[in-house]
A and B are shown apart, each in its own frame.
Chain A
Amino acid sequence: MRHVTHLTIGPVGFRIGSDWRAPIAQLEDLYRDYPKPGIPDFNVHLFAARPWRKILRPSVMIGGDYTIPDAAPLPLAQGLLAAEMGMNLQMALAQRRYLLLHASAVERDGKAVLMTGISGAGKSTLAALLMARGWRLMGDEFVLIDPATGLAHAFPRLISLKNQAIAVAQAAVPDGRFGPLLAGTPKGDIRHLVPDLRAIRKMAEPAEPALLLFPRFGFDAAERPVPPSEAFVRLTQSSTNYVHLAERGFDALTRLVQSVPARAIDYPDTDGGIALVEALA
């Protein structure tokens, strides 16, 4: 690969290679405060489907140690997104050390609040706004539960803001470092926000899960307790590696739902959501 960079997110190291300079330059800028791994856990590579497609209507194929067939290529202008998707793919397909939960998480006083839900539930936005209010951001996409300790490990990759959430976050974090606007991606407009320095410096510190939230955006404010069996089923659905961890995964998840209270929250707007989370935590 012509262009290569290394970066560490939480406890996971990546090597990223690219046929083009631009995605690597963007990663090196946005991830400039992150440590570099000695030997990475995963490799991602961005390559042209055919040699001439490096130049002619360049389109970026996502490769790596683990890939899915038929991953559609992205235009070169969205190379940064391709790299992020490549890293997410490695985690989703092959993370075997931690139970991977598709959730955002913030921490205060060593206690972690885990927020999980379907895409569009506002996980990333809530996490970004809570970060702006002084919480330590642990991650906007994945939380890693260590089966040996039950602790939550941070995975503070770039916060991925979509469509209306971009303006909301820009208003809440006016001095934040934002990546380029990626318009017209398969998921609409995307802009990345770099987690604050505190989130990056503390990313190796795990925290004890203290609250599990299942948020839903766009409904009248409401809140109800979630029984452990429901939390268990919903968390297995939001984990890509629960099955592959076998009995370690079962231990980690039963411990989590038995020891941590869970609540489903509906919120009409982000201000309402923040108020609900802070009232419960």
Chain B
Amino acid sequence: MTPGWRLAAVLRDPARTEHFSARQWTELFAVARAEQMAGTLAHRLNGLDLDPTVQRLVDDAIASAGHLRLAALWEAEMARRALAPLGVPVVLLKGTAFAAAGLSPSLGRNIGDLDILVPRERMDEVEAALLAAGWEWVKPDPYDDAYYRRWMHELPPLIHRERDRMIDVHHTILPLTARIRPDARALLADSEPLGNGLCTLSRTDRLVHAVAHLLADGDLAGGMRNLWDFHCLVQDEGTMGLAERARHHGLGAEMARAGRLSHALYGTEVPFEWQGLRLLDHLYLRRLTARDGWGRQGRRLTRLGFYVRSHWLRMPPLMLARHLWTKYRKGYRPVG
């Protein structure tokens, strides 16, 4: 069993650590940190009869995640204050949404940037209000800026000049270059109020977004964490109406794949038809768990394949060629 798989196995069943050697513990934390899942792991382990050294690592990771959660919720509150005068619905996405709604993926979860969804026709007002309230552009590069505005599903990232925190303002959940076009109006129309002036996506749309983020966007980096989000959301709220909603957004195949991967990796309870594995699923699982005992990603051939693949999914080929060429001239290399 590779260290990456072992992390998944422990998240699924923490009691497996009972006879762990010092080396296995060391590698477990190294992989969890690399996957940004140390806090999640710590919450799963806490309460077991642990060696004092392990308990210290667990306590540190729990405290650290607690602080990140606090900072993330505060950032959402500051965005709410900045946008309140506009009367625009502001939908929290991903980690901050899970924390604000008290959903189980948020337990120990690392939360970085603030992601919000607003109606596309109100983006200009939102941008102006955020700039007036202390947020600033991160990328002054005109190519990147034009690229974002033309093709991405979000504003170029903004950072707050005092708090040093990033906000991503989305108007849909996949780039406009992607083959799949989720129904952004339905995402907003069916969003649910949190009672603090902010909203979250509906139960099924939260899962649709998790799947879009995991499988239709990006290169599967951080995939174990994103799939854990999926697992927890399904454990919290079930799969009723999920396949249908995913099909509505054009993500039926991705939803089924996420169900199969999550069932295989974390033992998620999913409908019978998601319980087998397809041929390509094995490749995804290998990629998701590709970490050695130092948390480094191995299997470079698989990784490069997924990097190119993720760009193919998001952009038509000609545009991809132009994009990679512009990036290449600037000395850009995929980070690994």
Residues of A whose CB lies within 8 Å of any CB of B are: 1, 13, 15, 17, 37-41, 43, 45, 47, 63, 65-66, 69, 94, 96-97, 244-246, 248
Contacts and interface: CB of A to CB of B under 8 A. Distances in A.
B34 interface: yes
B54 A39 contact: yes
A17 B26 CA distance: 13
Nearest to B335: A69
Contacts of B295: 43, 65
Given A43-B294, A65-B34, 16 more contacts: A1-B294, A15-B26, A17-B294, A38-B51, A39-B22, A40-B26, A43-B26, A43-B30, A47-B296, A65-B30, A96-B60, A96-B61, A96-B64, A97-B59, A245-B63, A246-B70
Contacts of B66: 246
A94 B295 CA distance: 16
Given A1-B294, A17-B294, A39-B25, A97 B33 contact: no
B194 interface: no
B105 to A, nearest CB: 22
Interface in B12-56: 22, 25-26, 29-30, 33-34, 51, 53-54, 56
Interface string B172-189: 000000000000000000
A45 B64 contact: no
A245 B64 CA distance: 8
A246 B60 CA distance: 13
A90 B33 CA distance: 12
Contact of A38 (B33, B53, B60, B294): B53
Contacts of A1: 294
Contacts of A43: 26, 30, 294-295
B67 A63 contact: no
B58 to A, nearest CB: 11
16 contacts: A17-B294, A38-B51, A38-B53, A39-B22, A39-B25, A39-B54, A41-B56, A43-B30, A45-B296, A63-B294, A63-B296, A65-B29, A69-B335, A96-B61, A97-B56, A244-B64
Contacts of B22: 38-39
B128 interface: no
B57 interface: yes
Contact of B33 (A47, A66, A246): A66
Contacts of A246: 63, 66-67, 70
A39 B33 contact: no
Given A37-B53, A39-B53, A96 B25 contact: no
Contacts of B294: 1, 17, 43, 45, 63
A127 to B, nearest CB: 27
Contacts of A13: 53
Please name the 3 residue pairs, one residue from A and one from B, whose CB atoms are nearest each other, closest first: A96-B60, A65-B33, A39-B53
Given A40-B26, A66-B33, A96 B63 contact: yes
A172 B51 CA distance: 43
A244 B30 contact: no
Contacts of B57: 39, 41
Contacts of B34: 65
B147 to A, nearest CB: 21
Contacts of B59: 97
Interface string B291-311: 000111000000000000000
B10 to A, nearest CB: 15
A260 B278 CA distance: 66
B191 to A, nearest CB: 31
Contacts of B25: 39
Contact of B26 (A39, A63, A97): A39
Nearest to B25: A39
Contacts of B53: 13, 37-39
Nearest to B62: A96
A43 B30 CA distance: 7
Nearest to A40: B26
B301 to A, nearest CB: 14
Which residue among B67, B70, B294 has the maximum number of chain A CB atoms within 10 Å of its CB? Answer: B294
A99 to B, nearest CB: 13
A37 B56 CA distance: 13
Nearest to A1: B294
Nearest to B295: A65
Contacts of A47: 296
Contacts of B60: 96-97
A240 to B, nearest CB: 13
B63 to A, nearest CB: 6
Contacts of A97: 56, 59-60
Nearest to A65: B33
Contacts of B29: 65
A71 B223 CA distance: 25
